[in-house]
Amino acid sequence: MASVLVIGSGLAGLFAAVRAADAGHTVTLVTKGALAESNTSHAQGGIAASLFPDDSPNAHLLDTLRAGAGRSDPAAAQVLCDAGPARVRDLIRFGAHFDRDESGLARGLEAAHVRARVLHAGGDATGAEIERAMLDALGRRPITVREQTMLVELLTETIDDEAAALPSGADAAPRVVGAELALPDGGRQRVLADVVVLATGGAGQLFLHTTNPAIATGDGVAAAWRAGASLADLEFVQFHPTALAVPGTPLVSEAVRGEGAVLRNRSGERFMLGRHPEAELAPRDVVAREIAREMAAQGGEPVLLDATALAEDPAANRAMLAARFPTITAACEASGHDWALSPVPVTPAAHYWMGGIATDLWGRTSLPGLFAVGEAACTGVHGANRLASNSLLEAAVFAERAVQALTADAASARTPAQPPVSGDEPRRAATDARTDGGSSAALRTTVQTLMWNAAGLERDGATLEAAAEALAALPRPSTTPGASRREIEDANLLDLARLLVAAASARTESVGAHFRSDFPAADGTGTIATTREDALAC
C-alpha cells in the first residue's frame, strides 16, 4: 500500500481520501482553511445522474457532449455518465440525504438537460449536505487531517532512465514525491509521500465578480504547472448567468430557471425568447453572454430574474421558494429583496474552470506520482462548457478512479511504500515576516480587473495582448518562508492569469465559454490552444 497526500477538502478530496483509506493506504489530508471550507459546500444546483427509468447514461452523455460544444473528450464523458449512478449511490451510502418526494428521490430539470435528472438536498444546499456526509465519513476513518495548512510547492525528484524504463536517449522524468506546506504558525514543512492527489479546486478569484469563495485561488493548478505538469483548456472559464447583483454576488442556482423563472430587461421584456430556442434554459455560456449584452444595452444595469409566478398566488409562491431555495431566499432577504413578489437583479459571474491539470481517464497527470481530481483537473469531460450539475458528479467519479489507479500502481511498484514523513523539521516564520497589506489587496484587485475586462465573457486579440503586457509588468509576490497566505495566493493568481490570457489569445475562434468578438465563428480554422490530449503527450 502507499502513503497518499490529498490536498483539498471539497468533494473530490474527501472522496479520494475516504476511498484511499478504505483501500488500505496511509492517508493525510491537507486543507488551507477549515476542513468544511470548500467550493463544494457552496454548490446549490445539485448532482446529475441517470438514476431514473425514463433516463439513461447515453442520454446524459449526449447532453454533456452538446453542452461541451464539441470539445469534450467522448471517452471521459462516457466514463462520467456510466459511473455516475454508482457514485451517487456511494454518496447515499456515506450518509448524504437527498430530497425525496412521493416517488422516492426527487429530481429537478436544469439548463441543457433533456431529462429531469438532477438530485438536490435541502432544496438548494446540495453541496453543503454532501460535504457534511463526506466529513462524517472521513471522521470514521484513520485519516490524518491538517487544517489551515497551505500547499506552496510540489516536491519532485528526477527518475533515472533505468528506474523509469524510459526509452534510450529520452529525457529523465521528474516524479512528484511530496509537497512543501505553509503551516498555521507561518512556518514551512516538507512532507514526503508516494502519491500526491491535488483536489484544490478552481480559481474563481481570478475575476472581479465570482460565485466562488475566497479560497478559490488555483493553488494546486499553479503548483503543478511550476513542477512541470501539463495543463489544458485554460481559456474555458464558465460564467454563471445568474449571481445576485449585490455585494458578494451569491449564486442564484440554475434550478430556479428550471422551475420556471424567467429573465427580463429593465423594460420587463423577456429577452431570451428571441435569443435561443431554449430561452432561459439554453447552455450557460449562451445565457451569460446574452445577459451581458442586455446589461451593456441598458448602461450596465443588471437584468432581472423573475420568480414571482412559480405558484398560483403570492403566499404559495413565497412558501414554495422558501422551501425549495432556502439559501437563495436568505440571500435575497439579507440584501433587502423579496423575490416572491418582485424580480431580483442578477449578473453573470465567474463560476467554474473547465481547464486545469491535464489528466487521463484515471486522474493521472503527466508527472508520475501526481494525480488531480475535481475542478483542479482537466479530465476532458466538460469540453468548452460544463453541463449544469456535472461538477459534483465528476469530482466523485474521477476521485474513485484515481484511487483505483493509484492502488494498482502501488501494487506494481518496485519499491515498498514509504509512510508520509517530514523531509525536514518545521521551520518557523522569520520574525520580520510580511503580513497582508494594502499593496497585496491592490495587486489582487488589479489582476481581477484586468481578467474581468480582457478575459471575461467576451474577448478580443488586442485587449488580450494589452492584458498580457500589463500582467507581465506586475511584480510577482515572494513565496519564500515568511510570506503570508495572501501573498502565496496572489503569486498563484498572477501565474494563472498570465497562462489563461495566453491560452485565450492562442484560441482564435469562438467556442463554448470562450467567445472572441474578433473571431466569432466556431469553425476550428484558427490557431487552437494546446488540447488536453496534446498536453498529456508532452
Q: Are 205 and 216 in contact (CB under 8 A)?
A: yes
Instruction: Specify the pLDDT at position 413.
Output: 75
CA dist 516 and 185 (Å) reads 45
Roughly what angle, to the nearest 10 degrees, separates helices 74-93 and 57-67?
Answer: 120
Read off the C-alpha cell for 321.
Answer: 421558494
What would the DSSP string read from start to end of 275-322? T-TTGGGS-HHHHHHHHHHHHHHTTT--EEEE-TTSSSSHHHHHHHHH
Instruction: Specify the pLDDT at position 116.
Output: 94
Statement: 241-348 belongs to CATH 3.90.700.10: yes
Is pLDDT of 529 > 70? no
Instruction: Specify the pLDDT at position 435.
Output: 38
Q: Are 355 and 236 in contact (CB under 8 A)?
A: yes
Is pLDDT of 180 > 70? yes
Residue 129 dihedral angles phi and psi, to the nearest 5°: -70, -40
pLDDT (tens digit, 9 = 90+) per residue, 459-470? 999 999 999 999
Instruction: Specify the pLDDT at position 428.
Output: 36
Is pLDDT of 439 > 90? no
Q: Which residue has the cell 501565474?
A: 495
Looking at residues 163-186, what average pLDDT do you find? Answer: 77
pLDDT (tens digit, 9 = 90+) per residue, 386-417? 998 999 999 999 999 999 999 999 998 744 44
CA dist 37 and 368 (Å) reads 29
Is pLDDT of 526 > 70? no
Residue of 191, 194, 151 lying closest to 176 (CA atoms): 194
Between the alpha carbon of residue 534 and those of residues 21, 170, 236, the distances in Å are 33, 18, 16
CA dist 499 and 137 (Å) reads 37
Sheet holding 344-353, edge to edge: 237-244, 344-353, 303-306, 262-264
Listed by start position, the domains of the chain span 241-348, 435-537
Residue 536 pLDDT class (50, 70, 90 cuts): low
Q: Are 492 and 447 in contact (CB under 8 A)?
A: no
Instruction: Specify the pLDDT at position 308.
Output: 97
Residue 423 pLDDT class (50, 70, 90 cuts): low
Instruction: Specify the pLDDT at position 417.
Output: 47
Instruction: Specify the pLDDT at position 412.
Output: 86
Residue 100 pLDDT class (50, 70, 90 cuts): very high
Instruction: Specify the pLDDT at position 521.
Output: 82
Sheet holding 356-358, edge to edge: 231-232, 356-358, 377-378
Instruction: Specify the pLDDT at position 429.
Output: 36
Instruction: Specify the pLDDT at position 233.
Output: 98
Write the burial class of residue 258 (CB in 10 Å: 0-12 exposed, 13-18 middle, 19+ buried).
Answer: buried
Say whether 243 sits in a helix, a strand or coil. Answer: strand
Q: Are 358 and 536 in contact (CB under 8 A)?
A: yes
Instruction: Specify the pLDDT at position 436.
Output: 41
Is pLDDT of 167 > 70? no
Q: In terms of pLDDT, which residue wins out, 166 or 387?
A: 387
Residue of 265, 258, 251 lying closest to 305 (CA atoms): 265
Read off the C-alpha cell for 369.
Answer: 506520482
What would the DSSP string read from start to end of 195-225? EEEE-----GGGSSSBSS-TT-S-HHHHHHH
Instruction: Specify the pLDDT at position 527.
Output: 41
Instruction: Specify the pLDDT at position 185.
Output: 93
Between the alpha carbon of residue 442 and those of residues 146, 214, 380, 472, the distances in Å are 30, 16, 35, 16
Most confident segment among 166-180, 285-299, 401-415, 448-462? 448-462
Instruction: Specify the pLDDT at position 530.
Output: 45
Residue 441 pLDDT class (50, 70, 90 cuts): confident
Instruction: Specify the pLDDT at position 111.
Output: 79
Instruction: Specify the pLDDT at position 432.
Output: 34
Q: Are 3 and 419 in contact (CB under 8 A)?
A: yes
Looking at residues 107-126, what average pLDDT do you find? Answer: 91
Per the prediction, the chain carries an average pLDDT of 91
Residue 537 pLDDT class (50, 70, 90 cuts): low
Active site residues: 284
pTM here is: 0.89
Above pLDDT 90, what percent of the chain?
Answer: 82
pLDDT (tens digit, 9 = 90+) per residue, 28-71? 999 999 999 998 998 887 999 999 999 999 999 999 999 999 99
Instruction: Specify the pLDDT at position 38.
Output: 93
370-372 vs 150-159, strand pairing mode = unpaired
Just give the CATH number of 435-537: 1.20.58.100
Is pLDDT of 171 > 90? no
